[in-house]
Amino acid sequence: MSVNLQVNDTWISEDEYLEGELISEIKHEYIDGHVYAMAGASRNHERIAGNIFGELRSFLKNKPCEPFSSDIKIKVGSKFFYPDVMVICDEQSPHEYYTEAPVIIVEVLSKSSRRIDETTKRIAYQGIPSLKEYVLIEQDFVDVEICRKSEGWVSRHFFWGDSVYFEAVDLTLTVAGIYDRVDNDEVRGFLLEKQQISKISNG
């Protein structure tokens, strides 16, 4: 997710928040009556979120599950969040702009967003009855963390060279694919090593 900055301390109702989001030029998240503005995301953030969303969209075509990017909200109790990517399956909901029943939630981490993604959101998301997997992906280095309900929400980490299984939709992605086009020190190092090995093999 992007950086969150509190707009003001004035308490507003959920209805006021939802009505305001329809006309606002920027997105806000809502936590227990308080509204927080969302700042812009980095290129690496968008690359990772786009890679995940693209793979899910292609894989889930003509299937009952559907992926959504960061323009659709999740309602958790008295909170509304914009996850980077999520998947919804067979939801019968009257709400056009938010869901209460995702099966997968993906958040792309940054230094500024890590605290809320790993604390406030983790606690809130794990209370969603439908949720099967919460995925946290670092953008500044290579690390994909998956917490599954079926495993008691214990964290499992995946790194370069690994494959990641998304149990909720039966999809496997490589970590390299998730980080396609991402430019950070670790990715550059892995790609350089791969090129050197290729030269030796072909030499």
Predicted confidence band at 95 (pLDDT cuts at 50, 70, 90)? confident
Residue 181 has pLDDT above 90, yes or no: yes
User: What is the model's pLDDT at position 40?
Assistant: 76
Question: For 140-168, what is each residue's pLDDT tens digit?
Answer: 999 999 999 999 999 999 999 999 999 99
pLDDT band at 2 (very low <50, low <70, confident <90, very high): low
Given this model, what pLDDT does residue 170 score? 96
Which has the higher per-residue pLDDT, 173 or 26? 173
Contacts of residue 87, defined as CB under 8 A and 6 or more positions apart, other chains included, come to 56, 60, 65, 66, 67, 68, 102, 103, 104, 168, 169
- Domains of the chain from N-terminus onward: 43-202 (3.90.1570.10)
Q: What are phi and psi of 110, to 5 degrees?
A: -140, 175
pLDDT in tens, 6-42: 556 789 999 999 999 999 988 999 999 999 888 778 9
- Model confidence pTM above 0.85: yes
Mean per-residue pLDDT, 115-126: 88
Above 70 in pLDDT, residue 4? no
Between 75-79, 115-119, 176-180, the lowest mean confidence (pLDDT) is in: 115-119
